[in-house]
Amino acid sequence: MSAEEFNGLWLPLAGRFYRVAYYILESREDAEDAVQDLFTRLWKLRSCLGGIKNPAAFGITSIRNICLDRIRSRSCSKTVIPTQEIFTALPDPEADLDRFIFGKENIGNIRACMARLPSMQKKVLEMRVFENLPFSDIASRTGLSEVNVRVKLSNARKNLRRMMEYEDNR
């Protein structure tokens, strides 16, 4: 595989790999390092990559494994920021939830709350936030209308915020 082919096939997937790494590692720097490691490994294996039918799936599986290896080797403990402080630091949590999820390092509580969302709300929220899909693509994947996608996304954000507030008050 030539450098041009490699760049054309793998580099457009870098954002997706970063989002997966950030979701797992909960740190911008660690996620960037993991993506860098992935691309280094892919470059070294570029002669064998021609037979991969789904580069996105292969890359996501690889980045997941790299991240899990990093977590296993981590020895320091995480600092937990109270969720209420995070919500009050944002001007409008509903409008900026995408940036909130990727911009803050307290994603563990969010993941736990997201797991409790109704399945369609969770699915729509994940597609919008983690895959950065436009409403039209989400609608075509889920079979919902764009209006329903927006409603489900809004409800998911509201429910997530309520669950996070409830977790803070416990």
Q: Are 32 and 109 found together in one domain?
A: no
Cα–Cα dist 35/13, whole Å: 10
Would you place residue 47 in the very low, low, confident or very high pLDDT band (cuts 50, 70, 90)?
Answer: confident
Q: Are 98 and 63 found together in one domain?
A: no
Global confidence as pTM: 0.44
Domain count, the chain: 2
Cα–Cα dist 55/51, whole Å: 10
Containing structural domain, residue 162: 83-169
How many other CB atoms sit within 10 Å of the CB of residue 10? 22
pLDDT reported for residue 45 = 87
The CATH number linked to 27 is: 1.10.1740
| 119-161 pLDDT per residue, tens | 888 888 888 887 888 888 999 988 989 899 899 888 888 888 8
Q: For residue 98, what are the CA distances in angstroms to 25, 49, 56, 59, 110?
A: 17, 33, 22, 23, 12
Residue 49 domain flag? yes
Cβ pair 106, 120 in contact under 8 A? no
Would you place residue 18 in the very low, low, confident or very high pLDDT band (cuts 50, 70, 90)?
Answer: very high
